[in-house]
Chains A and B, each alone.
Chain A
């Protein structure tokens, strides 16, 4: 049992097609990086379905897990296109413009 303690978890990222983002795919258990890469190839590209493979030791990953920072409980609608509703304003502006044209 003690020898198994030496195994580490490696997170696997793969790129499906050239230009795609590296996407997290799963993880493997391996004592070192070299074997982790072999396992990753075996599990995530044995049909040639990956262009590129990364393994990252799980304990090397830092996570921001403060929800108040990640998704602040404030209105952030001004940061999104959907935060600007212009339909009625556009209609009003067009009507006003056409009225102005007609009176010229």
Chain B
């Protein structure tokens, strides 16, 4: 009797090869069931045009943000207070440009050439993150950006390591590893100034006051999960409001514990719901800024255009050498 049971158990070993619904090329319903239940998609797998367009738009915007995001920091390389700070800042900028390169590569495999993506960015046809449309006014801005802007970005980037688009998810694992260095560098800059003079502390507080609004807007307005197709298709793993809540949970205590004041009198943790309550961010400002109407939007794009033209000879030389070889 026992032997018979054992024999039954042996046949139980046969497992389905894959717990997710399989999909055949061309079967859109099965494809969406696949990505909607944790399934992964590789660059050369069949995918729907809508999914391809959504991933491309998402990754291209991310790549643009990495590339444009170095410009506010670039302004401070020559004004860094010590050689070590200058090395760290230059290294961070190199990382961010490297991230842009990796992400443009991911986007290119979805069908849009890099040259076209750069042309669209320079023409103002595609977007980059709101926080990179603002000027930097003092060295404290460098600390606040590296600490808090990068921290807010990491919260969303960590969630992207689970993206249904596997080449993007893999790239995010590498990027998150490098971003964690930037956050430490930024926190160190801020802590050094907070341990300095009253004037230095005031400089950090003034920077935080200016950056808090854009930081709260950065993850975007709350979306209806049922209608958010990026979420539905697993391109991103967490909604905007969830990311903002996670950012606040980690960083509000860290900001306050070093004597900084967050410029939002309404900000508090609601103990009953375990959610942060805050003054509604200015969504009109967000929309205006990301469509190219921020205080530094046009000067940054113009700098990129001038720089792109000035470095044309490098691209020509590379391609010319290759042709001659």
What is the total of A-B residue contacts with beta carbons within 8 Å?
69
Interfacial chain B residues near A9, Cβ < 8 Å: 105, 109
Q: Does B84 contact A (CB under 8 A)?
A: no
Q: In the complex, what distance in Å separates the CA atom of A88 from the CA atom of B12?
A: 15
Q: Evaluate contact between B6 and A46: CB separation under 8 angstroms.
A: no
Interfacial chain B residues near A19, Cβ < 8 Å: none
Closest CB in chain A relative to B12 CB, distance in Å: 8
Interfacial chain A residues near B108, Cβ < 8 Å: 29
Q: In the complex, what distance in Å separates the CA atom of A11 from the CA atom of B87?
A: 30
Docked complex: B7-25 residues within 8 A CB-CB of A: 9-10, 13-14, 17
Docked complex: A56-89 residues within 8 A CB-CB of B: 71, 73, 75, 77, 82-83, 85, 88-89
Q: Evaluate contact between B318 and A35: CB separation under 8 angstroms.
A: yes
Interfacial chain B residues near A71, Cβ < 8 Å: 17
Residue of A nearest to B116 (CB): A1
Q: Evaluate contact between A29 and B3: CB separation under 8 angstroms.
A: no
Q: Evaluate contact between A4 and B322: CB separation under 8 angstroms.
A: no
Q: Which residue of the partner chain, among B98, B113, B323, contacts A43 with CB atoms under 8 Å?
A: B98
Interfacial chain A residues near B167, Cβ < 8 Å: 26
Q: Evaluate contact between B174 and A77: CB separation under 8 angstroms.
A: no
Docked complex: B215-260 residues within 8 A CB-CB of A: none
Q: Evaluate contact between A46 and B13: CB separation under 8 angstroms.
A: no
Closest CB in chain A relative to B178 CB, distance in Å: 8
Q: Does B170 contact A (CB under 8 A)?
A: yes
Q: Which residue of the partner chain, among B6, B13, B321, B322, contacts A89 with CB atoms under 8 Å?
A: B6
Residue of B nearest to A92 (CB): B2
Closest CB in chain B relative to A9 CB, distance in Å: 8
Residue of B nearest to A49 (CB): B177
Docked complex: A1-22 residues within 8 A CB-CB of B: 1, 3-4, 6-7, 9
Q: In the complex, what distance in Å separates the CA atom of A71 from the CA atom of B1?
A: 35
Q: In the complex, what distance in Å separates the CA atom of A88 from the CA atom of B10?
A: 11
Q: Does B158 contact A (CB under 8 A)?
A: no
Q: Size of chain B's interface in residues, with CB distance under 8 A? A: 31
Interfacial chain B residues near A42, Cβ < 8 Å: 98
Closest CB in chain A relative to B13 CB, distance in Å: 4
Q: Does B319 contact A (CB under 8 A)?
A: yes
Residue of B nearest to A2 (CB): B319
Q: Does B291 contact A (CB under 8 A)?
A: no
Q: Evaluate contact between B13 and A82: CB separation under 8 angstroms.
A: yes
Q: Evaluate contact between B10 and A85: CB separation under 8 angstroms.
A: yes
Q: Does A55 contact B (CB under 8 A)?
A: no
Closest CB in chain A relative to B122 CB, distance in Å: 15
Closest CB in chain A relative to B16 CB, distance in Å: 10
Q: Does B83 contact A (CB under 8 A)?
A: no
A–B Cβ pairs within 8 angstroms, 17 of them: A4-B113, A26-B105, A26-B167, A26-B170, A26-B174, A29-B105, A29-B108, A31-B318, A31-B319, A46-B94, A46-B98, A75-B14, A77-B10, A83-B13, A85-B13, A88-B2, A88-B6
- In the complex, besides A4-B114, A28-B105, A32-B321, 14 extra interface pairs with C-beta distance below 8 angstroms are A1-B115, A3-B315, A4-B319, A6-B319, A6-B322, A9-B105, A25-B174, A27-B105, A31-B321, A43-B102, A71-B17, A75-B13, A82-B13, A88-B6
